[in-house]
Structure 1
């Protein structure tokens, strides 16, 4: 197999405040080849958070949501198939209507691909993020990284 991209999940903190009310959140940033996708996609400009919660900081949310979200990034992607996944979401409600950074996640034998990054909000036409990706991750390393982050 050729060279693959390296994925690391790194804690991403959203600082809370009272005016306007904003929840403090601890989620994961997706860092590819040492570069933060939170920064590269401009997710901070939309006040978004990672889709996966940090189990040690947000145990209830992680328990309730991480399994399903991690599955959308991993085993729910059929070999030879693809679907869009929200990587960065509204930190208050997680609703796509508030805006999200999404990617097309596809899988082939031993490799998972992230491509076609976009900002979506369900109302306006999606904004393609053409300077981001595509990425190809070794399936085993990818699964290990996501599993370790979700379990803690």
Structure 2
């Protein structure tokens, strides 16, 4: 092993939630990712949908145990000194698969080595080992400083609540139910003026239904400004729940100090340009409304993309009529409509 140190840090990260094309729900997860030499360690695992043990929604006792484990203040949860570095975002079972590594002391420093994909014990390094990742030698003071601060810090509250505004309560109720399933709180109101200012400040986004006129929107914005509440405003682009959920997920993630693998989506007649910053799997789905307002779903593309801008052709079925595109990676989701 090289004696050169790798830098260690933590940074906010997200596993984007949403409603998938097949109707399945994907939970939103906020977590802290491990930054090694200034880059997210998860980015080295290009096709992995996973979160670290340092997730915002785990109970405090479990969060504390995870931190103490990484600091080697508690026994490793797996055999041979192995710790879970990334696990399933939907459950806590090892049987779903997890990235694990041996964490051990090196004098006053720490070493992470023998990274592997593990579904049971003991681990099979020949079959599941990540031979191109690590080992990493972390300077002890920097490593302890990044992790120990989590034991005393109050968790930052993410404003994962959305206020839905519009006269079509039944349609908004379906959207609210879908949002709650993905981990986003959602309430419906027809009159913001009666909502206390302290409650307005708990929302991260406001979603306007299609029948909310400009005057009503201006009044809502004024109410939030008086409450000193900084929120994202979303005009529902389509009466399609998966598209609206994706649009809201994108709005809630605005302005966050995060690195995203999926950085851009631009749709023009006949093609979509997808920009990625790090190798990752991207799924591009088209939702098309026909003349009877029926929704047709077309899976346009799914595959691993290298960093850069990639042009994906849209076939006639995907681009005909009123169409909305949703591009999804593990950490972000973007929505666009082909220009006409």
So what's the TM-score if we normalise by structure 1?
A: 0.81
2:12: which partner in 1? Answer: 11
1:16-35 correspondence to structure 2 within 5 Å: 16-18=17-19, 19-35=23-39
Runs of 4+ in structure 1 deviating by more than 6 angstroms, as ranges, are: none
Aligned partner of 1:140 in structure 2 is 141
Pairs aligned (count): 141
SS of the aligned residue for 1:50 comes to: coil
Higher relative contact order (CA 8 A, sep 6+): 1
Q: Deviations over 1:111-131 (max 9, x none)?
A: 110000011112894511011
Kept in 2, the 8 Å contact 1:52–1:65? The answer is: no
Which moved further from structure 2: 124-133 or 100-109? 124-133
Report matched runs for 1:1-152 at 5 Å.
3-18=4-19, 19-42=23-46, 45-54=47-56, 58=57, 61-74=58-71, 75-76=73-74, 83-122=81-120, 125=124, 126-149=127-150, 151=153, 152=155
For the 8 Å contact 1:46–1:99, the answer to whether it is kept is: no
Once the two structures are superposed, residues 97-149 of structure 1 have per-residue CA deviations (whole angstroms, 9 ceiling, x without a partner) of 11111111011321110000011112894511011011111222111101234
SS in 2 for 1:10: strand
Answer whether contact 1:41 1:129 (CA < 8 A) is retained. Answer: no
Native 8 Å contact 2:13 2:30 kept in 1: yes
Unmatched tracts of structure 2, length 5 or more: 156-340
C-alpha spacing 1:26/1:134, structure 2 compared with 1 (3 Å): same
SS of 2:13's partner is: strand
